[in-house]
A and B are shown apart, each in its own frame.
Chain A
Amino acid sequence: MYSFNYERPSGINDAAGAVGEDDKFLAGGQSYLPTLKLRLAQVDKLVDLGGISDLKGISVSGGEISIGAMTTHGTVATSSDVRSSIPALADMAAHIGDAQVRNRGTIGGSIANNDPAADYPSALVALNATVHTNKRSITADDFFVDLFETALEDGELITKVTFPVPQKAAYAKFPNPASRFALVGVFVAQTTSGARVAVTGAGPCVFRQSDMEAALSGNFSGAAVKGIQTVADKLNADIHASADYRAHLISVMAARAVDAAS
């Protein structure tokens, strides 16, 4: 780790004001601190968001659930509000990393990081969520841009994420056996505006499987998607799985998610 400065403001505006060009926000530190420790990154100042109570917490109103950026995976996994309105989301959060990671890692940190194998991006996209920042609101479809890249501008701070409550939804994750991040994760949702299928882990960035969405709009069943293949060209290939295998797993996981949706 290279040395850096550290600040812990207590307000959203203070935090946004404190972060300069070579600075970073620090949330749970579960992704960023290992990067620093391995000297893969260098930072002038860490602006710790842990002291900002406005960024924490979960509320439900008007068919929408709102989760503060600094809410941990553990809190989402065990929230009775989340469990009763979008059980698939709580279930997904319950399968991120291990207990220590879930008690530190946050929704804001996860989506800002946009790891191609992270779970949350698929939930946001499938559930047609909106990311709120200190400057604007961004739909999930627009938020996740590419490998480790989001629509966030320098110094822009995620404040919360809002999820419209779907008719039903589920997440099926095929974990990478080593890291247990998603080798392939498919989040499906039946919403008022139709079926949505978001795939994480398989490509450089979360994406929607539109052939499956079309198939599901008439027939929301696993059988409808099981035979639909995803083109492997743009999928990831590494020592854990070839692109073909990932393509195949998308179909299997999608079907399992659809059948499990509630």
Chain B
Amino acid sequence: MSVENGIGVSVKRKEDQRFITGNGKYLDDINKFGQTHGHFLRSPYAFAKIKNIDLSAAKTAPGVVDIFTGADMTADGIGGLICGWGINSKDGSPHVAPPHPCLATDTVKHVGDQVAFIVAETLQQAKDAAELIDVDYEELKSVTDVRQAAAAGAPQVHEEAAGNQCYDWEIGDKAAVDAAFTNAHHITKIDLINNRVSPNPMEPRAALGEYDPGTGEYTLHTTSQNPHVARLLLSAFVGVAPENKLRVIAPDVGGGFGTKIFLYAEETTAVWASKRVGRPIKWTADRSESFLTDAHGRDHATHAEMAFDADGHILGFRVSTKANMGAYLSTFASAVPTYLYATLLNGQYKMPCIYAEVQALFTNTTPVDAYRGAGRPEATYVVERIMERAARDMNMDPTELRLKNFIQPDAYPYETPVIMTYDTGDYPLTMTTAKDMIDYTGFAARKAKSAANGKLRGIGSSAYIEACGIAPSAAVGSLGAGVGLWESAEVRFNPTGSVTVFTGSHSHGQGHETTFAQLIADQLGVPFESIEVVHGDTTKVPFGMGTYGSRSLAVGGSAITKAADKIVEKAKKIAAHLMEASADDIEHSHGVFSVAGTDKQLTIGEIAFAAYVPHNYPADLEPGLAENAFYDPLNFTFPAGTHIAEVEIDPDTGVVEVVDWAAADDFGNVINPMIVEGQVHGGVAQGIGQALLEGVVYDDDSGQLLTGSYMDYCMPRADNFPNFRVETTNTPCPSNPLGVKGCGEAGAIAAPAALMNAITDALGKEIDMPATSEKVWRAAQNA
């Protein structure tokens, strides 16, 4: 029986009512009585010693409340920021995690590094005062490029990190891969740059810190994807306040894409300083600050080699990557190019052996951490570009080479050589679906037509896989994570039968208020309008791990379902009592409880009322109808699919037009098809953006950020895209009760390789992202 507004229905997003009528409450919309404004003085240099900071003129400037430097935080016992995932190098040594102070103490290590925090009555006064701070810098030679950072004689970003190395890590079986390569019939090699990108959520990061001297409690409003994690870090590691004296609220948050997972210096400083000044302090990044300080994504340089037998079967895969960490280790930075990356290098294929090594390096740049897909797009990019290249080298159709090597639908569970156990999937189906969607066989005719018009046409695929729904706590713990990755929920009935759902997940654009309400509407038969979803406040919701890694539905949604299961169990007992039957005879379907073989029934609303007004109630049962659950997943989930891109290139200008796009994704069961399609659109848009237009550029010499505004950093716009064709296939996920896999990152994971494969197909030669018109034009000239 399908339920109105239940699972599988494209219910319109309930949160959009407030968002599109301007009634969303984002951080900067919140103001507190007596609020002051904070502003950071930032380093103008990529790398410099601070010889002296003279605050005297600034401290007496109009409106200034106080000004803080790193020395003040150190004196107050406030520690630096930490990285929450330990990675060991090949030799067993732990990764190098140099100090990461909120306000620089003696050196600044990237342009935009925080030097001082000015608190004033108005923002303008704070900015005026910042100009009066006299910092005596001694500029040092900097390094921004990851390959240069690895070179002998490169500037040393941290004393602690010899050769700028954070770690040199490996996974897989080197000997087996070496052996496979000696027996190979064909070897394809490729060098790839995965360009650094800036996340650009629409809402900039912001924080509002306040301290209540009466209770000794701090409250931090912050633009976070995981307020409880922020609270944990602020308490246990930074030392701002114990967890019970610190409330963290993430209100409506306008996009995150990963960059709002991390604990940043700004929010930490603002909440700490609020006690010092005895007034609330608000800080909102302007867009220039976002470019300078929001953790960036990607930035890999990779060499990969794949060995094949005479029939085109993969024999072995060897990958060597240099990953740029930026100037400091951000919260989860170390995990992204290791366990979130190399564990996915198996792709959708039968690969007998894999060996990958990853060297992570410090540079004088903004820290790099998880960005939509986090490691998995980088892996897919390497696997899918080398597959396409290999097919061309061997004169095979690239989709045929893939079909030949796919893990087959009857092979699950499938253990890869890089520690993942794929649970289910049907890769041939998503591939053939995508080919049909884009009329793959008609491509030759379309290419000929383009050629007649002087245009180059190309087609390219990307058969991606990701591990999401992160993650089983024991598994990630064994791999170095400092946290467990379960999720929490509470389903609370009100006496009148309406429901409030509390979730540890956090929605910053994903539509949880709708999707999670659909789960409850379906399972408990409560009208959709009578369900409220609450998230993002550490005093309201149970401790939760937050939203990233396409985990909210698979892990957070499963927690909600488990809590609802407990509701059903209790409701059965109440129903049995009220209907004078045995609990074993009570049957439940979508909120209706009936006595088997009779026409007696009660609705969940009636039962909830009885639970709160327990005049006639089982003696051995607690009143009330509210249950909570913590859900720790059994495995990662493995969404997978094929995206195919088709492009037309104007060889006179190098302009690439993306003319068609087919996305066939297996997300397992789908709760709200409209939201899923929207997530695919957004992800593909971001992936196309990375491949075609985006790229953070630092000046080699000075280390200055050259892409510091939208005049120079190119975000994709609607007219850069064709209409996307989106379809889903479904092999339900066996490892969670909902059978769901997650869809938030898939587009960004799949798209870059598909697009670059289409472009290189058209050009007949390899180029790196972003495929700017000049790069494409140059390649087309020598084609």
Contacts and interface: CB of A to CB of B under 8 A. Distances in A.
Contacts of B653: 174, 249, 252
Contact of A39 (B127, B710, B715, B772): B127
B288 A178 contact: no
Interface stretch (A19-27, A45-53, A120-128, A240-248): A240-248
Contacts of B127: 39
B697 interface: yes
Contact of B777 (A179, A181, A248): A248
A177 B774 contact: no
Contacts of A181: 711
Most B CB within 10 A of own CB, among A1, A178, A248, A249? A178
Interface in B89-132: 124, 127-128
Interface string B199-241: 0000000000000000000000000000000000000000000
A179 B710 contact: yes
Interface string A165-182: 000000000100111010
Given A239-B706, A249-B653, A177 B124 contact: no
Nearest to B781: A248
B320 interface: no
Contacts of A249: 653
Given A38-B288, A39-B127, A177 B772 contact: yes
Nearest to A253: B653
Interface string B274-309: 000000000000001000000000000000000000
Interface string A223-262: 0000000000000000111100100110010000000000
B707 interface: yes
Contacts of A239: 697, 706-707, 712
B73 interface: no
B40 to A, nearest CB: 15
Contacts, number: 37
Nearest to B710: A178
B712 A177 contact: no
A249 B774 CA distance: 10
A239 B695 CA distance: 10
Interface in B764-782: 772-774, 777-778
A3 interface: yes
Contacts of B652: 252
Contact of B712 (A3, A179, A242, A245): A179
B83 interface: no
A1 B128 CA distance: 9
A29 to B, nearest CB: 17
A2 to B, nearest CB: 8
Interface string B399-422: 000000000000000000000000
B726 interface: no
Interface string B461-485: 0000000000000000000000000
A173 to B, nearest CB: 12
B774 A179 contact: no
- How many B residues are at the interface, by size bracket? 20 to 34
A194 to B, nearest CB: 27
A245 B777 contact: yes
Contact of A178 (B128, B711, B774, B777): B711
Contacts of A3: 124
A249 B713 CA distance: 21
B714 interface: yes
Given A38-B288, A248-B777, A249-B653, A1 B124 contact: yes
B719 to A, nearest CB: 10
Contact of A177 (B697, B706, B714, B777): B714
Interface in A92-130: none
B693 interface: yes
Given A1-B124, A174-B653, A245 B774 contact: yes
Given A1-B124, A177-B714, A178-B712, A241 B774 contact: yes
Interface string B686-718: 000000010001000000001100111111000
Contacts of A38: 288
Given A239-B706, A248-B777, A178 B713 contact: yes
A242 B777 CA distance: 12
A143 B680 CA distance: 51
Nearest to B287: A38
A178 B124 contact: no
A179 B709 CA distance: 9
B93 to A, nearest CB: 38
A2 B713 CA distance: 26
A2 B122 CA distance: 13
B626 to A, nearest CB: 49
Nearest to B713: A178
Contacts of B128: 2
A147 to B, nearest CB: 16
Interface string A30-47: 000000001100000000
A20 to B, nearest CB: 23
Contacts of A248: 777
Contacts of B707: 239
A191 to B, nearest CB: 27
A200 B300 CA distance: 37
B296 to A, nearest CB: 16
Contacts of B714: 177-178
A174 B650 CA distance: 13
Contacts of A1: 124
Listed from nearest, the 7 A-B pairs whose CB atoms lie closest are A178-B714, A179-B711, A245-B774, A177-B714, A252-B652, A239-B697, A239-B706
8 contacts: A38-B288, A177-B714, A179-B711, A239-B712, A245-B774, A245-B778, A249-B653, A252-B653
Interface of A: 1-3, 38-39, 174, 177-179, 181, 239-242, 245, 248-249, 252
Given A178-B715, A245-B778, 7 more contacts: A1-B124, A2-B128, A3-B124, A178-B714, A179-B711, A179-B712, A240-B712
